Amino acid sequence: MLTMRTAKTVSITLPPELLVKAQELATREHRTMSELFREALRRYMAPDTQWQSFLARTRAKGQALGVTSEADVERLSDEHRRRKRR
């Protein structure tokens, strides 16, 4: 019976100092380099719910203020600065 591999091997290049740091981290966490990079990739690809929440709040606030362009942001920022100086 033939067994199929479910994982593929990839090669990556790293600057020497980054490789040393990755090896030290893997050793400290008792992981293989493969486990370390798989976890790093999973975390990188995971949705950042805090960031998404922040974007949703700021977009809603921008819509409420009538912001439709970068010029609107600049105008509101200038107005805010002027009010703070008073």
User: What confidence score (pLDDT) does residue 86 get?
Assistant: 81
- Per run of 10 residues, the mean pLDDT along the chain (length 86 residues) is 80 96 97 96 92 92 90 91 89
Kindly report the pTM of this predicted structure: 0.56
Percent helix, strand, coil in the chain (nearest 5)?
Answer: 65, 0, 35
Residue 45 host element (H or E):
helix 33-45
C-alpha dihedral sign at 22, 28, 34, 37: negative
Distance set, CA 53 to CA 45, 60, 67 (Å): 17, 11, 19
Per the CB < 8 A criterion, the answer to whether 49 and 43 are in contact is no
User: What confidence score (pLDDT) does residue 36 get?
Assistant: 97
User: What confidence score (pLDDT) does residue 1 get?
Assistant: 65
